[in-house]
Amino acid sequence: MNSKANRMSRQIALVMALILLMSVFSGCKLPDSTIINEPVTIESETTDVPVADATPAPEPTFTLDQAADDAYHALDLNVFRWYATSDGYSFHMFIDNPADYSIDHNSVPMTLGEFTEEDSVRLGNEAAVYLTQLDAIDRDQIKPESQFSYDVLHEFLSGYAAEDKFAYFYEPLTEYSGLHSNMPLSFALFDLKNVEDVEDYLALLADMPRYMGQVLAYEQQRARLGMFMTEPALDAILEDLQLIIDAKDTSFLYVTFDEGVDRVTNLSADQVKTFKDKNISLLKNEYIDSFQTLYDGLEALRKDCRSYEAASQYSELQKEYFEQTMQSAGCNDLSVEETLEMLKIELSYLLDDFSRITSKDPDITSKKIEVTSGNMQQDLDYLQKLIQPILPVLPE
């Protein structure tokens, strides 16, 4: 972390130096004559020259409009309710006690959400309404501590409300971290605190065939548009899916659900058995079937796989999507060219580090480096020692 911080400081210093250098050539031009006149000193009869009192800088004025501040917080709460109740999974991830937000649990659709172009349009239209309401509130009239929150909300709604020029550009199925890989983990992280949570969990598990069917339909449309994945990528996704399918009888979701239900204290023995039996049935049927259907559907699209050459021939719209995705992942507005320049600077520092290290130990590149001691506990202890100066103390 420290070396990265130092490098960032050097990058900033380099940029500032370049700015100053440019200002010398563009803003300050020397006279044509090379004669530099000596400064003229005017002597005063008095030795003590009165110094005028410094004029204090004007304090920024701020006028709070309580009505505007109240309107902002009310809108902020409405947007939260809108987002958190869009589907059953989001509802459980964001809200612990619905009554705190005046939300009726029964009004929330207990589904995994929608994965359709039509739903994206709906969300965009609804976000545009909220954005209009937010723009009607004068940011300068709300409390200073709320203005950053205002900016974040504005950015969030603007992203949702923006015209969707990139329909079907997004790839939900990526190796290791794609939607299909995250689905088992999503259920494992579902917190079961009461009987409603258990019932909702089972409802979401039963919704898997519908939701994964929408994901397959999305990929089928990408194939029709000539935007389907490459064959090596398809093979990797199918391998991920096969691992989940093969774990039909050994999935960790049997254990996580059983342990969660056992922690719910107000369930009768009959309820516990009913819930556990239902979970087993859903995992062996609806859950696994949804992955099998996705597997078979993707395999049928193999003929539509793009070559690497075709995938690398970006249109201007695809380049724009790439840049927007890069900016979203990096939380900045840097262009691809600006980002590339930063990477070049960072690469120069890495090459400098490499040069210094190899100059001290020329044989280091030929040395065999063990990535493990062979003992898991020793490895964990070593890694914890490394992160102690960087991260907060981890709980047990």
pLDDT band at 3 (very low <50, low <70, confident <90, very high): very low
Cα separations in angstroms, 385 against 59, 154, 158, 294, 380 = 49, 42, 43, 43, 9
Residue 282 and residue 205 in contact, taking contact as beta carbons nearer than 8 Å: yes
Residue 291 and residue 213 in contact, taking contact as beta carbons nearer than 8 Å: no
Higher pLDDT, 356 or 6: 356
Q: Which two tokens stand for residue 49?
A: 């020259």
pLDDT digits (tens, 9 = 90+) for 30-71: 333 333 334 334 344 444 555 556 676 666 566 788 999 999
Arithmetic mean of pLDDT over the chain = 85
- pLDDT in the model for residue 374: 87
Burial class for 192, CB neighbours closer than 10 Å (0-12, 13-18, 19+): buried
Q: Which two tokens stand for residue 233?
A: 């990528």
- pLDDT in the model for residue 11: 38
- pLDDT in the model for residue 126: 96
Mean pLDDT of 367-387: 87
- pLDDT in the model for residue 41: 40
- pLDDT in the model for residue 328: 84
In sequence order, what are the residues at sequence separation of 6 or more whose Cβ sits closer than 8 angstroms to the Cβ of residue 73?
A: 146
In angstroms, how far apart are the furthest CA atoms of the chain? 106
| Cα–Cα distance measured from residue 338 to residue 37, given in angstroms and rounded to the nearest whole number | 43
- pLDDT in the model for residue 389: 80
Mean pLDDT of 143-169: 90
**CA 195 to the chain's CA centroid:** 32
- pLDDT in the model for residue 13: 37
Mean pLDDT of 335-344: 95
- pLDDT in the model for residue 112: 97
- pLDDT in the model for residue 102: 93
User: Percentage of residues in the chain with pLDDT exceeding 70?
Assistant: 84
Q: Which two tokens stand for residue 161?
A: 């409300």
pLDDT band at 162 (very low <50, low <70, confident <90, very high): confident
Burial class for 28, CB neighbours closer than 10 Å (0-12, 13-18, 19+): exposed
pLDDT digits (tens, 9 = 90+) for 264-281: 999 999 999 999 999 999
Cα separations in angstroms, 73 against 85, 132, 133, 190 = 18, 15, 12, 29
Which DSSP state fits 60?
Answer: P
Cα separations in angstroms, 366 against 41, 160, 282, 363, 369 = 69, 51, 53, 6, 9
Phi and psi at residue 268, to the nearest 5°: -80, 165
- pLDDT in the model for residue 394: 67
**CA 289 to the chain's CA centroid:** 30
- pLDDT in the model for residue 30: 31
Phi and psi at residue 260, to the nearest 5°: -65, -45
In sequence order, what are the residues at sequence separation of 6 or more whose Cβ sits closer than 8 angstroms to the Cβ of residue 347?
A: none
Cα separations in angstroms, 220 against 171, 180, 299 = 12, 16, 11
